Amino acid sequence: MVFSIESPSKPPLPFYKTVLCVLCVLILIVNGFSLARNLESLNDAKVLQSQGARVVDRVQALNVLVTDAESNLRGYFLSGIDSYLRQVVRARGEADRQFAQLRGLLADNPNQLKNLAQLQNLVRRDFAGMDDMLRVYRVGGLNDVAKIAHSLGDDGTVDEIRLMVVIIAQEQRELLATRSAAYNRDYRNAVMLGIGINLGAILVVLLFYRLIRQSFFSGVQAQQALETANQTLESTVALRTEQLSVLSRHLISVAEEEKSRLARELHDEMGANLTAISIDLNAVSERLRTQQPQLARMLERARATLVDTVQLKRRIVENLRPSLLDNLGLSAAVQSYCAEFGQLTTIDCEALVERTVDAAGPMHAIAVFRIVQEALNNVAKYARASTVIVHLAVERDCLVLEISDNGVGIDTDAALAPKSHGLLGMRERALLLGGNFTVRRGVNDCGTCIEASIPLATAAASHGVEVAATTTPAAPALLDHVQHAKPAAPAPPSISEPRRPAGDRIPT
């Protein structure tokens, strides 16, 4: 199984989804433009309708102004009151303003402008006739005015004005009806177009919703499948990890059993054979010492070689299973190993071991001793330290081990590396007995500190591991006889030089 840490590239959006999205956007844009154009057209039609209505009102107002001017002029002729004359002058000015406004309203209609010009001429001619009658009145009196009025009545100017007003109003009403029809038609077309565009937009939105819904449920199913696969993978990894951990602990237990058995066989069988050889060599040497001194010296050399072999056997046995651990207890074994470690490596090794640790069982004792061996071995090889402190005590029914040095320290990634076989072995020995094991930087980020806590309860039973406790008896008297037969230098302490770890171990 291969795991990749590279971030996966984002998959492109399917083409049909892109087309639907673009189509929906285009429909909405067209709908927006259509609504804007229709609204503008409706506003224009509304303005034109209002303009037509104002034209009709202005024309009617002109007709009223002319009629009122004639009435006020007659009132002035009959009563001589000047207020009637002022109303005539005001009507003339108001008529000029109405014509100016009408020209502005009818600027886009040339035919109506012609009619308006004709109407204006008629109105001006009517007001000119009024001015003539006013001058006649002031000169000749009311009789002359009656004559002029009679002549003006026969002129028909007022009827022409009324007819022109009717024509202009009728044309405006027809134009207003036409514009109303166009307005209604544009309104109906705009409504139909808006409905069509909205229906198309709704259809596209429904299709898009269907695609989104399918994508959502597909994503949910894919997520559920991924979660199921992850759970299966996690359970498989946890199961394989537990199996490997159990296998590792079993191998450690089997290795210790095999070491104990091999140490016992070497001590018992090989020791007995070497003792018998020593006895025979001593007997033959005593007989040949006076008769054949040369053969006696050869036997002495053979005996010296035998003594070296006995020492080699003892070192092998001590490496396989320390006799101090079984005979004198865990505290003596750890202190002795620390003392010899300091002599061999010139590193100041201080052992702070409480006597209460001797209450630990054989499995606990050998596990702690192997952890101390491996930790000091790593210190000698990698730490470049000048001082190391080994503290072993019993706290709260647990064997508590702490090994700290003042070396270069260990990197966190190196401590977790899969090739840190030494650290993994120490951790598995602690876990085998239900304990825990940690590796961290020392005080003030200086050096390395290894901590292990192993409960003194029978943890081996809870893990399904049974290891026979092996005791290596002290050397029998016959071996002592082999050593004492020839004076020699005292044997070195019964602890071997620290073994060099494999080249792929991570330094502590």
pTM for the model = 0.45
Structure tokens at 86: 């002022």
**Residue bearing the bigger pLDDT, 147 or 357:** 357
> Which of 1-15, 242-256, 383-397 is predicted with the least confidence, judged by mean pLDDT?
1-15
Closest to 446 (Cα-Cα) out of 403, 406, 386, 412: 406
352 neighbors 392 (Cβ within 8 angstroms): yes
Instruction: Note the pLDDT tens digit of each residue in 281-316.
Output: 888 888 777 778 888 888 888 888 888 888 887 788
Confidence band, pLDDT 50/70/90 cuts, at residue 156: low
Q: Which residue has the tokens 């091999």?
A: 262
Confidence bin at 9 (pLDDT 50/70/90):
low
Buried b / exposed e over 427-441, threshold 16 CB at 10 Å, is: bbbbbbbbbebebeb
Vertex 350, ends 344 and 353: CA angle to 5°? 120
User: Does residue 137 have a pLDDT over 50?
Assistant: yes
Interhelix angle for 271-291 vs 293-320, to 10°? 160
Q: Which residues of 26-52 are buried (b: 16+ CB within 10 A; e: fewer)?
A: ebbeebeebeeebeebeeebeebbebb
- Residue 159's pLDDT band (cuts 50, 70, 90): confident
Q: What is the 3-state secondary structure (H, E, C) of 153-181?
A: HHHCHHHHHHHHHHHHHHHHHHHHHHHHH
Q: Can you give the pLDDT at residue 452?
A: 92
**Higher per-residue pLDDT: 90 or 473:** 90
Q: pLDDT confidence of 391, banded at 50, 70, 90?
A: very high
Please report which confidence band the pLDDT of residue 504 belongs to, taking 50, 70 and 90 as the band edges: very low
CA atoms within 13 A on the CB side of 300: 13
Q: Between residues 54 and 492, which one has the greater pLDDT?
A: 54
Q: How confident is the model at residue 390 (pLDDT cuts 50, 70, 90)?
A: very high
Decide: residue 457, CB within 10 A, 0-12 exposed, 13-18 middle, 19+ buried: middle
Q: For the residues of 303-346, what is the DSSP string, one character each?
A: HHHHHHHHHHHHHHHHHHS-HHHHHT-HHHHHHHHHHHHHHHH-
Least confident of 207-221, 246-260, 288-302, 320-334: 246-260
Q: Check if the beta carbon of residue 323 is closer than 8 Å to that of residue 317.
A: yes
> Tell me, what's the pLDDT at 415?
63
* Euclidean distance between CA atoms 250 and 265, whole angstroms: 22
Residue 348 has pLDDT above 80, yes or no: yes
pLDDT band for 402, please (50, 70, 90 cuts). Answer: very high
- What is the model's pLDDT at position 476? 34
The answer to whether residue 405 scores a pLDDT higher than 70 is: yes
Order of strands across the sheet that contains 436-441: 348-353, 387-394, 398-405, 448-455, 436-441
351 close to 335: Cβ distance less than 8 angstroms? yes
**Residue 152: which pLDDT band, with cuts at 50, 70 and 90?**
low
Tell me which of 338 and 319 has the higher pLDDT: 338
Query: Is residue 5 scored above 50 in pLDDT?
Result: no
- pLDDT of the residue at 325: 79
Residue 385, beta-bridge partner list: none
CB–CB of 471/325 below 8 Å? no
Residue the block writes with tokens 């009507």:
91
- pLDDT tens for 71-87 read 887 787 777 787 888 88
Stretch 329-355: mean pLDDT: 90
The predicted model gives 441-458 an average pLDDT of 84
- Mean pLDDT, range 307-330, rounded to an integer: 81
Kind of pairing, strands 348-353 and 387-394? parallel
Task: Look at residue 506 and tell me whether its pLDDT is greater than 50.
Answer: no
Q: Does 419 or 49 have the greater pLDDT score?
A: 49
CB atoms closer than 10 angstroms to residue 395:
10
Cα–Cα dist 127/136, whole Å: 14
Average model confidence (pLDDT) across the chain: 76
Per-residue pLDDT reduced to its tens digit, 170-210: 877 787 788 778 778 877 887 787 788 778 778 877 887 78
E strand residue ranges, 56-197: none
pLDDT above 90: percentage of residues in the chain: 8
Q: In three state form, how does the secondary structure of 435-490 look?
A: CEEEEEECHHHCCEEEEEEEECCCHHHHCCCCCCCCCCCCCCHHHHHHHHHCCCCC
User: 351: which DSSP letter?
Assistant: E
Whole-Å CA distances, 127 to 135, 226, 237? 13, 99, 113
Higher pLDDT, 393 or 203: 393
User: How far is C-alpha 173 from the chain's CA centre?
Assistant: 72
Give the 3-state secondary structure of residue 417. Answer: coil
For the record, the structure tokens of 224 come out as: 């559920």
Q: Which two tokens stand for residue 24?
A: 């929906």
With a CB cutoff of 8 Å and minimum separation 6, the contacts of 425 are 252, 370, 374
Structure letter (DSSP) for residue 402: E
Q: Which alpha helices (DSSP H) does 395-448 contain, by range?
A: 412-415, 421-432
Mean pLDDT, residues 326-342: 88
Distance CA 228, CA 214 (A): 21
Q: How many helices (H) and strands (E) does the chain have?
A: 14, 5
d(CA 197, CA 36): 14
pLDDT band at 459 (very low <50, low <70, confident <90, very high): very low
Cα-trace Rg, the chain: 62
198 Cβ contact list (under 8 Å, min separation 6): 31
pLDDT of 491 > 50? The answer is no
**High-pLDDT (> 70) share of the chain, %:** 80
